[in-house]
Amino acid sequence: MPRILSRRLFNVALPLVLLAGTVDAAESQRLGFVACPVFQDTNTVPCWLAEYQGETYFLGIQTDSGGWTPPLQGHQVLVEGIVTAQPRVCGGIVLASPGSVFDKRPSGKSAGVDLPQPPVISTMRELDNSCRTMLPENPRYNTLEPRRGPGPGNAQIAGLQQNANAARGAPADAPKPPFVAKTFELHYEFDSELAGLTINKLQEALKYAGDIKAKSVEVVSYRASVKLSNGKQLDEIAKIAELRAKELANVIRMFGLPTGTELKVRVVAVVQPGNGIDDWTRRRSDIIVRP
């Protein structure tokens, strides 16, 4: 092969090899596993950890009600996260959230470094009495500066209410014809029918339905699986799509449909297969508002 041609092929092939290595490295940074949560005490707030394949991972810290919801002892947890390059916290490699829908306000700092949004944590339904490890305070881990958001006073509550009233009355917020169908997605923790982390989407959907005097609001709920880092596929329970649909329909009725709007409910019981990258997006219910 002529030297010039060989050099050209090398110049083309090298970036492709480097790109492939980058993709592989990025994919290896995503983790999905089931393990017992470990409670690590500190001089401020508890750390939560989990062990997987001989390594310890930091999940998050316990903060106020506006923060991350920690695991439950006596249950295993499904962890879906991305490995970060941050310094270890409480002895564990720091994991971050793989999806913005589960983001909460930053929970604080460790040794002056902001903690990332915690990974997606799902408490498994089954009891596991082996998941009760509580580690005593270790001076090496007393590096946490948790966020301590003060509760709202009367003045703050009044201000929030005033802003809410102003937003409801603002003509700029009202959609203008021709109206179109809109879909609002609610996401869930694994095997849960409570969309507590994304319930605001329900409020948005009902507001839109009222604004356009919607002909129908349809709930479509799904069941999904997670592809774990060990290659195994973990399916949600068989009835989870039905449970999500019933729960969401009940909440919609409780909040109140606009007069003349029909509520429809559909269940997709076929498992939506996970890919190990964005499996949390498949655990969802759609609220479709049609004019």
Evaluate if residue 167 carries a pLDDT over 90. no
Please give the structure tokens belonging to residue 284. 């969802």
Note the pLDDT of residue 23: 32
Mean pLDDT, rounded, for 127-155: 83
Evaluate if residue 143 carries a pLDDT over 90. yes
Mean pLDDT, rounded, for 200-208: 93
Rounded percentage of the chain residues whose pLDDT exceeds 70: 78
Q: Given pLDDT bands bounded at 50, 70 and 90, which one contains residue 3?
A: very low
Mean pLDDT of the chain: 83
Instruction: Sketch the domain layout of the chain as residue ranges.
Output: 28-146, 174-290
CATH topology of domain 174-290: 60s Ribosomal Protein L30; Chain: A; (3.30.1330)
pLDDT (tens digit, 9 = 90+) per residue, 247-267? 999 999 999 999 999 999 999
pLDDT winner (highest mean) among 22-31, 161-170, 254-263: 254-263
Note the pLDDT of residue 162: 45
**Contacts made by residues 191-194, CB under 8 angstroms, sequence distance 24+:** 191/122, 191/124, 191/125, 191/236, 191/237, 191/240, 192/122, 192/240, 193/240, 193/243, 193/244, 193/246, 193/247, 194/247
Evaluate if residue 159 carries a pLDDT over 50. no
pLDDT (tens digit, 9 = 90+) per residue, 77-127? 999 999 999 999 999 999 998 776 666 667 889 999 999 989 999 999 999
How far is Cα of residue 131 from the mean position of the Cα atoms in its chain?
Answer: 23
